[in-house]
Structure 1
Amino acid sequence: MTSQKPRTTTDERPQHTSDGSFSDSASATDPGSAAATAATASETPNDDIHSGVGVLDKTVKILDALEFGPTTLGQLVTATGLARPTAHRLAIALERHRFVIRDQHGRFMLGSRFAELSAAAGEDRLLNAAGPVLQTLLDRTGESAQIYRRQGDQRICIAAVERASGLRDSIPVGALLSMEAGSAAQILLAWADSERLHMGLRQAKFTAAQLAAVRRRGWAESINEREKGVASISAPIRNASGQVIAAVSISGPTGRMGTMPGRRYAPLVMAAGKYLTDTLIKAGSSI
């Protein structure tokens, strides 16, 4: 780190525009309303569309028939109107590409490949929206801003902007950080399932009580937790199902951010998280 006089910002209440700016008056997105929005968006008729490519149309019929759960070959034939050998051949081909799997009873189901593609598409949407939002945070707070996602037992920085000069916390895109310390780690763990939460707290520098407080207020802060002299504030980013899939953060020296940075910066960071959540909901992302 190199020292320089702290950057002074005169207005910390961003105005809403279409370029990634946001209002800091909004609270964290409610998971229930997110799921309801997603459900409404999905209620569209499934018309019988013909592309002119026969094998593709037949394959899509197979996938459409599997949308509602495990399906026997006989049920596939009935639902699609395809000849039994054709339905079987296409289902087996889809299985080889992991678009289809079979349960313990031999029934066909949608496979894991769809989740992988959905996650990739969703992350693209998040990254596309992230740049302007992080820049707004930098402009309004004068501090570096990042987005983190969980990757196994660590967290990875998937987007970042930082101060051009002066004392700053520099986290490059692609950096892997511990899940044991830091406000982003708190966010990514606070809404995890009970088993992952219990495991994550074993070596953590924060407690279960602190994570309960994070869930209540919708943001997390850390001071000298990940690194001495560094403070950070983070808020959740949710997908269309209401699940916390990432954390948006600002970080900087404690000398500039203070010993209680949440009081000053939490509304801005929460607003950024809500803006990105709303963007993913509108896109129907499930990452």
Structure 2
Amino acid sequence: MEDRKLTVRAVERALDILMCFTKGKELGLTEIASSIGLHKSTVHRLMTTLEEKGFVIRDMATEKYRLGLKIWELSAHLSQSDDPAVLLLPQMEQLRDRLGETVSLYLRDGTDRIRIQAVQSNQAIRRVAAVGARLPLYVGASSKVLLAYADASILQAVLDSPDWPASVDKSQYVAQLQDIRQRGFATSYEEREPGAAAVSAPIFDRSGKVAAALSVSGPVSRLSPETLIEFGPVLIEAARDMGMMIHA
């Protein structure tokens, strides 16, 4: 029997509902139903169960839902020895103190990247990196790092995506990935958002597989293209040390 047939539909739908909260902190029934393509009555029944179990909380005044304490209870029991977001936090803080800018850690999930940890810069003007943010693998330093070392099928899926920005030439992009593999880090200058720049390097685990992308980002007023290049070797060194801490 195919795996799909073994999937319990109600569980699958409940998980789809919970994933909706990656796009907003408070959501109404209509928003959730529209997002996952279910009727409001079906969503209401599932939300009632999730609420009873403590996975969501309903605001009686607005009739909107937000994630409940059970989610945080589960996250508190993640294995700290295996979770890069916890394991590498002290090293990320040291890198922030050394370079003075926001340090982030990204994982690839399909054709997206997810920021799983961030250490904010102490500067008055800084990029606020939201942990848990899901971003596409089109532009940005960490995106290019994750794609540069990904399987060819992943790269092709990203290149073939209907959401690929028309302003980005695909052949030039692929050439950039080759350059990244040669020099060991990637840079971006106002690629994803105006006024922001970043530099990123891959973190390899002990088996030689890319475990995450380490990124330093900040405003272009402090991170010139020349500064990004200067930061590159520093990130490579930090990423190498972090990789030794991650099990294969």
| Class of the TM-score when normalised by the shorter of the 2 chains | 0.5 to 0.7
What SS does the aligned partner of 1:225 have? Answer: coil
Query: How far off is 1:269 after superposition?
Result: 0.9
What SS does the aligned partner of 1:228 have? Answer: coil
Quick check: 1:163 aligned with 2:121?
Answer: yes
Amino acid at match of 1:268: V
RMSD: 1.9
Alignment of 1:1-287 (within 5 A): 124-202=82-160, 203=164, 205=168, 207-280=173-246, 285-286=247-248
Query: How far off is 1:238 after superposition?
Result: 1.3
Contact 2:149 2:210 in 1 (8 A): yes
In the comparison of the two structures, how many residue pairs are matched? 163
Query: How far off is 1:121 after superposition?
Result: 5.3
With over 3 angstroms needed to count, the CA separation of the structure-2 counterparts of 1:122 and 1:194, relative to structure 1, is farther
What SS does the aligned partner of 2:103 have? Answer: strand
Contact 1:231 1:261 in 2 (8 A): no
Contact 1:221 1:262 in 2 (8 A): yes
For structure 2, the residue ranges without an aligned partner over 5 or more in a row are 1-77
- In structure 1, distance between residues paired with 2:104 and 2:92: 7
Identity of aligned residues (%): 35
What SS does the aligned partner of 1:159 have? Answer: strand
Contact 2:145 2:213 in 1 (8 A): yes
Structure with the bigger RCO (C-alpha within 8 Å, sep 6+) is 1
Query: How far off is 1:193 after superposition?
Result: 1.1
With over 3 angstroms needed to count, the CA separation of the structure-2 counterparts of 1:245 and 1:199, relative to structure 1, is same
- In structure 1, distance between residues paired with 2:112 and 2:85: 19
- In structure 2, distance between residues paired with 1:192 and 1:207: 14
| TM-score (norm. length: structure 2) | 0.61
- In structure 2, distance between residues paired with 1:123 and 1:148: 18
For structure 1, the residue ranges without an aligned partner over 5 or more in a row are 1-119
With over 3 angstroms needed to count, the CA separation of the structure-2 counterparts of 1:164 and 1:178, relative to structure 1, is same
What SS does the aligned partner of 1:237 have? Answer: strand
- In structure 2, distance between residues paired with 1:123 and 1:151: 21
Query: How far off is 1:261 after superposition?
Result: 3.2
Highest Rg: 1 or 2? Answer: 1
- Return structure 1 stretches of 4+ with deviation > 6 angstroms: none
Query: How far off is 1:223 after superposition?
Result: 0.4
Query: How far off is 1:123 after superposition?
Result: 7.3
With over 3 angstroms needed to count, the CA separation of the structure-2 counterparts of 1:136 and 1:263, relative to structure 1, is same
- In structure 2, distance between residues paired with 1:177 and 1:140: 27
- In structure 2, distance between residues paired with 1:224 and 1:215: 22
- In structure 2, distance between residues paired with 1:169 and 1:144: 7
Contact 1:144 1:251 in 2 (8 A): yes
Amino acid at match of 1:215: R
Contact 1:235 1:249 in 2 (8 A): yes
What SS does the aligned partner of 1:158 have? Answer: strand
Query: How far off is 1:262 after superposition?
Result: 3.0
